[in-house]
Structure 1
């Protein structure tokens, strides 16, 4: 049986569970819960995650999984768990990227495992590859440190181990931190003459315990360092300072003044066993190899970077100009009515234009004479491209010619292109040749933005280097929609092509805002149009003046019949459409809207402002404020299984200089959580004491019941303390049946049918 501990383990493999338990027993690792699901016909992974997230004995959650069946429910549970506890996931099975049947570049270069990685990142969790990494990651994430970056300082007493650590740091996407000039000069005075402070802090073989302590303290005071790796390599007895235990004690002492993650690597075995035990007894993760220690810091950095992604709750539409969504739907329905799935280039660009994505002007020529007339109107130079629903990649059949400079050249190019294409693809239907002006961006960079659909995660937005060699370059970063500007910026940063978007070979930096706006527009398209299956905008030419889509190909199909909005997305957008303004007695106004993570401070202020009796009625507790984990749990929700509506009132607060400042505060919250039966939900309600009697509680309950009703839930219920007369009167006035609660006479059960 498993030893007791603070780790919660859930696994979809019985044999691997047995292996993990055997390994854990030998390494002194304990568990709060171990759940082996097997075929999980009665209890699924999402339900276990919900249980572990609310279990007081579980501090960190370890997950081994082989597959999921319901992406929305899985993501909802995973995000809720990761909001309050570190979650580490290991998944078996890597589906090979690409498919011979793919109709666009995006679908051809995105693999299922890449999509899963993107989903985990958005859920705020860390993924590992081996089960020994599961435990090292969990231990690191349970530490008190909260890094803000990926710059790792490496302190070592041997060049070889330090170089190995530095190489692996770069290989996994981290950076080797360099001390600033001030810290470097100060530290150099305290070290031996043989030490060097450059890319590594090499204390030399003469390093003493004091040298190690001084190096750790120098890293602590340097703002350019986000984490510290301390390596000790055993030295021969001829070195008087080579005492691994005293050095371990010095590092422990130095780490007490460190507000950054510190990981240790005491290499060797017999001579360092006692020193390693000292480190393990403290909150300092210790490893046997430099690569393992670097991986551990990488897990910490990834977790807290992913937590930033978890906090994002974008709406389905950005704050940019409203798109012509109805026109886009009519275009799609027209194509589907013709029993076609692949939009022509002109139709694809029309769809992009409906969402205000800049596109090159494109016209279709069905004869060489038409081509010459169109080219003269558009102005030279122009580009000619074959237009066929049966040709996915035009360059494969020599169906693209650029920089055509004259009418005669247009005529000759038109005729020769048709001849080449018919020879290469005799069965292809050819509509004609499109004519478009060249982008006018000679120093622009070619990038692509795409869309693919994954089973089971649904739409995935991809970004990377574009052009004709897109599959060969295979540069793709991806993100699950919806996006906001923060997520769009992070998506761009993860692609290799991001290195070319700044100053590049004499070209000025591109207009990053324009590129981010294209991504936001694509996100709007994905959220609004469930018919989209695949999309290639390749290339998009971007420079310091803006971005323009030069070519596009879109694949559509009939959307599945579902009454719920955004049912095609794995992550539900922020439901901005639920925002309403309501009048108060006396003519004042308040606004009801869904809660979001930024409301944490206002929610805490509301709880603190409540009277002891009001807090007890709401939480059945004497606590004066919400614990951090509970606050995160209440403000970061998925808007699917759970909804919380807050009433916002704007107060005018007089300042010291006599002026007034408007300050927003939460004055009421209503909430429901769907029960495991998926047909009923449980409600809660709290109203600020100074806003009682304003009809606020009644309005919040009506609003939350409307949302639950729209979700298809049949009944809403809640427990109210028997002595909470005000709340019980409100429930009866709203048509709730108030019944005794058999399990506890101190409560009444309030139930109302929604349908």
Structure 2
């Protein structure tokens, strides 16, 4: 349902309190006090069949006895009454209910499920149960158990936990932070985190979102909402339960073991562009920063302090977190010398080892007696210096350096700099051990203040990481090699045969065949059912002067090395037979339950300077397939050098995944070792992600080791676990690859080939790497057509502009591009973006100016409408300028309803009920 009826819940005209009580220690009394204490402007209706009045308010016996339908019903009654109250509220036409009551249980016969069914029957939205309630300061609404009314501000707080929400509000109250809304969701029978993210992402009164969660029930819905919200504004997320143990899975692969639950959540947050913090103090640090500063480019920090020791501590923490200490230019040093000399800087305040020509360095030590004038004199040049991106001011109050005096001077310098510059440089302040007076001075100037240098540096890095995440979201990936076209049909035959036979593991020949379908290089694999056959298979290699490896084949033995199931560098047939006998004996002793079906013989590969890596897939119960990469070998789990990413991947995301591991450093050149082919490694990861999309039956996949050197990559050993696909996720879409993905992959099943005027045309969904296509396309569109499409003259086709057109969340939006199959040139495009409720979508279309009249617009519109119908949208709508008579004529023929825009007489609003689309376009 997403944001359906959120307007009635968060800006209610009336509130009913079911379970209201006159007992001062009850939930009902506490919430009633909060409602009245917030001066809620609408009527408050207590509901309690045992009371005629509570305080001075008339009390109603039931929901259906209220004067009218309440927009919001707060439920604090006993668990066995909740479902009936919800049903009555739904039947009466109320907007939503916040269930504070706990103990509703779970399962098909629980009161919780009965309440959910009753609400769904009437379209009533539910918050909770076991929630704190909600508070919206701007609406003078405090329908919660919070200890105080949160002040009005621009931070939204969404929490699954009552106590975490209360703790954050309490912390913020004494520090001058305000909220646009506070929602505690509890068990989230209906309204969930994704719904709230959708709402606050579009809320103009919200500048940043604070999110606390423990678990996610609907990963695709969450990921889609989180990615949309993070593109709009900072989202800070805190997850509790970071060290929970993974539930034992059916496949004990290395990849599955490495993909621990919190690591997968971390990968999901990273993919969505969320800023993750690890504990409440770090979230408070992020709040301090986000409440005072906006994100900025760069990560070069200048530090000003009145003590070398505390300055050095700040620099250490900056290095720990990956920040950069800014360099001071000669010009800035000259300005500092002049300014500080005039301010009376002592001669011993500069570093002893600096030269007279360059007496200053970062961190800048002003001396223990530095007063406000000296701090202001230092700040003016630093704030004007383009060699740094932000400034940290540290003041340790002394008998000669008062905190309030310094705060006044810092605030004044910052105000002057902001008046003189269009871009206000961020300033962070540390006043260790100082009182509230200095704090208030800094906050009045919009300067975040921290109690320690470490917290200030963390706050600085929060904004750095957020900006970097936004930049990452907008980067254009490299195109995949044109010759990479997996043999999906052959791969499906391999996997399908194993699943049909009821097997959980592919045998080595099937694994080799599957990897070959995706052009992942592997060693030759020869299967032998017994020792003699293994010796025979090994002979050609031995006769050629090579040695061989012998590996056990058993569906019951996942890690062959655990039973000595791998023997290397065998040089004779006799050695192969002896190795086979040893493997069988060890298996019989250590794993008598395991069925040994034979052996694999492979030639030994000599790559002495190759790096051992692991690349694979794990199956997470929440987020589905997860790509795993890291350092490989038999000690892979002990070394635990790994990074995770949610598929699908492109080459940019794959490179970023590689870069988050320690082993990535070993891929570089060092001493006499040439750099490994990182592009080849990244391509393997992309192929594995594509395999997961094409073959949802593949649950776990290990390539360990994957050898990488300057010549490329090769898989020495691999195993693949398979299982039937049961059930589908909420937004499964039309293609089989969407069933288990948290992020919907490229919908290849929507590619179409048509012919218009004998010209072959490919129409396919837009990919992120299509940015260059769009840039060239716009050169062939007239200014008039661009104005009709964008409602204004467009001259700047920047990277950011083009990225918004090409980087899509396929769960919410689609864009189809038409390409000339002969030249590859872009001919036109259509896009459709669904609303948060997934009920209607807004479309836009543009055809190259010199290609009008071919019928391409009809083809694109038809495919867009087909997509809308398959996605379950009810309507397609758009805005068309009145002068765009060609588009309006097409809309009429397609069955759109046309009406004037009451807000703009130059615009027509067009709307199509998707099920009523015309049969097809006229012949071109």
TM range (shorter): 0.7 to 0.9
> What pairs with 1:80-229 in structure 2 (closer than 5 Å)?
80-94=228-242, 96-101=244-249, 102-131=251-280, 133-134=282-283, 136-138=285-287, 140-141=289-290, 143-148=293-298, 152-172=301-321, 174-177=322-325, 179=327, 192-196=347-351, 200-205=363-368, 214=378, 217=381, 227-229=390-392
Preserved contact between residue 385 and residue 400 of structure 1 (Cα < 8 Å): yes
* TM-score computed with the length of structure 2 as normaliser: 0.69
Task: Using the TM superposition, name which of 42-51 and 186-195 deviates more.
Answer: 186-195
- The 5 A counterparts of 1:37-52 are 37-52=185-200
1:32 maps to 2:187:
no
Matched, 1:519 2:668: no
- Quote how far apart the aligned CAs of 1:430 are: 0.9
Q: Tell me if the contact between 2:625 and 2:647 (Cα under 8 Å) persists in the aligned partners.
A: yes
The worse-fitting range, judged by mean Cα deviation, of 484-493 and 323-332 is: 323-332
Distance 1:253 1:449 in 2: 54
Q: Counterparts of 2:532 and 2:259 in 1: how far apart (Å)?
A: 41
Q: How does 1:324-723 map to 2 (within 5 A)?
A: 324-379=487-542, 380-504=546-670, 506-560=672-726, 564-567=735-738, 568-575=740-747, 578=750, 593-594=765-766, 596=768, 598=771, 609=783, 614=788, 636-645=807-816, 669-673=830-834, 676=837, 678=838, 680-687=839-846, 695-711=855-871, 713=872, 715-718=874-877
Larger relative CO (CA 8 A, sep 6+): 1 or 2? 1
2:430 to 266, 275, 291: 266
Q: Which moved more, 1:514-523 or 1:628-637?
A: 628-637
Calculate the TM-score normalised by the size of structure 1.
0.84
Max Rg structure: 2
Change in CA separation of 1:161 and 1:753 when aligned onto 2, cut-off 3 Å: same
- Quick one: structure 1 residues 551 and 189, their matched pair in 2 at CA, closer, same or farther if it must change by over 3 Å? farther
- Whether the aligned pair in 1 keeps the contact of 2:761 and 2:818 (CA below 8 Å) is no
> Distance in 1 between the 2:880 and 2:669 partners?
65
Contact 1:316/1:573 (8 A) holds in 2: no
CA distance in 1, matches of 2:184, 2:658: 39
Q: Secondary structure at the match of 1:566?
A: helix
What is the CA–CA distance in structure 1 between the aligned matches of 2:903 and 2:409, rounded to whole Å?
59
Residue pair 2:697, 2:723 contacting (<8 A) in 1 also: yes
SS at match of 1:478: strand
CA distance in 2 between partners of 1:240 and 1:707 (Å): 63
Q: Distance in 1 between matches of 2:330 and 2:584?
A: 69
Note if contact 1:576-1:594 (Cα within 8 Å) is conserved in structure 2. Answer: no
Does the CA contact (< 8 Å) of 2:654 and 2:685 recur in 1? yes
Mapped to 2, the partners of 1:411 and 1:587 lie a distance apart of 64
For the 8 Å contact 1:667–1:688, the answer to whether it is kept is yes
SS of the residue aligned with 2:397? coil
Q: CA–CA distance in 1 between the matches of 2:824 and 2:584?
A: 67
Cα distance change on mapping 1:24 and 1:663 into 2, 3 Å? farther
Deviation at 1:749, TM superposition (A): 4.9
How many residue pairs match? The answer is: 734
Separation in structure 1 between the aligned mates of residue 326 and residue 901 of structure 2, nearest angstrom: 64
1:281 and 2:444 aligned: yes
Residue 732 of structure 1: CA displacement? 3.2
Query: Unmatched 5+ residue regions in structure 1?
Result: 651-661
Provide the residue aligned with 2:461 in structure 1. 298
Q: What is the Cα deviation at residue 78 of structure 1? A: 1.1
CA contact (8 A) 2:370 2:400 kept: no
Q: CA RMSD in A?
A: 4.4
CA contact (8 A) 1:314 1:574 kept: no
Secondary structure (helix, strand or coil) at the match of 1:38 reads coil
In structure 2, stretches of 5+ residues that fail to align are 1-148, 341-346, 352-359, 729-733, 918-924
Report the CA distance shift for 1:531/1:582 in structure 2 as closer, same or farther (over 3 A). Answer: closer
**2:905 maps to 1:753:** no
Contact 1:575 1:594 in 2 (8 A): no
Report if aligned partners of 2:681, 2:708 keep a CA contact under 8 Å in 1: yes
SS at structure 2 position matched to 1:460: strand
State the distance in 2 between where 1:260 and 1:723 align: 42
Q: 1:749 to 1:349 in 2, by over 3 A?
A: closer
- Are the counterparts in 2 of residues 595 and 646 from structure 1 also a CA contact under 8 Å? no
Give 1:232's aligned residue: 395
